[in-house]
Chain A
Amino acid sequence: GQQVMQIPQYQHVQEGEDFTTYCNSSTTLSNIQWYKQRPGGHPVFLIQLVKSGEVKKQKRLTFQFGEAKKNSSLHITATQTTDVGTYFCAGENSGGYQKVTFGIGTKLQVIP
């Protein structure tokens, strides 16, 4: 079945440093979504990428979708303590809604 791998599982950065998390799928995806979950909170939808090679930016966050639509990345420039949380990717296979598979998440800790 479809697998979505996410690395790293944990990342500690000094405030002001950059951070990147990577998502890799075993199958070609129709689209990919990114979510952020604060400690003790619920997932919050950040963005969806659909097109091959797509790049989207949200302030200090840059999202990329690979040319082969099998990988994606989230890059945060100059991290802040408000960026603390777990970042999940979720890939949707061509099979439709039941084929959305979440990665295990990358837990980001920002050291002030």
Chain B
Amino acid sequence: NAGVTQTPKFRILKIGQSMTLQCTQDMNHNYMYWYRQDPGMGLKLIYYSVGAGITDKGEVPNGYNVSRSTTEDFPLRLELAAPSQTSVYFCASSYSDMPQHFGDGTRLSIL
């Protein structure tokens, strides 16, 4: 049972580039979340989904997009990378509206 899997683990992007952070879970959870964590800070919710085909904005959605075509996958897209998006990104899933299972994170640097 893999839980929540995030890829890649590390990435360096140039300003203006785009990329997709992948997240997949094998627990059949309806709820999935994307958070970012800046150094020494708590988690900020970017987007969340309560089921396939349903997504909604969190606290800091600007500069990001998501999709949820299947229960398992919840990719996060950065269209025009900016230095302010340098952060650690965590994907999480749960049966309820409370994130319980987190992936290992993607450490993203934008230079």
Contact = CB atoms under 8 A, between A and B. Distances in A.
A102 B97 contact: no
Interface of A is mostly: strand
- List 10 A-B pairs, minimum CB-CB distance, nearest first: A97-B97, A102-B42, A42-B102, A102-B43, A45-B100, A104-B42, A43-B102, A42-B105, A42-B104, A103-B42
A43 B90 CA distance: 9
B10 to A, nearest CB: 12
Interface string A85-112: 0001010100011101111110000000
A25 interface: no
Name the residue in A4, A43, A92, A105 with the highest tally of chain B Cβ atoms < 10 Å from its Cβ: A43
Q: In the complex, which range does the number of interface residues on chain A fall in?
A: 20 to 34
B101 interface: yes
A97 B102 CA distance: 16
Interface string A10-49: 0000000000000000000001010000000111110010
Interface of B: 31, 40-45, 48, 50, 56-59, 90, 92, 97-105
Contact of A96 (B42, B57, B97): B97
Contacts of B58: 98
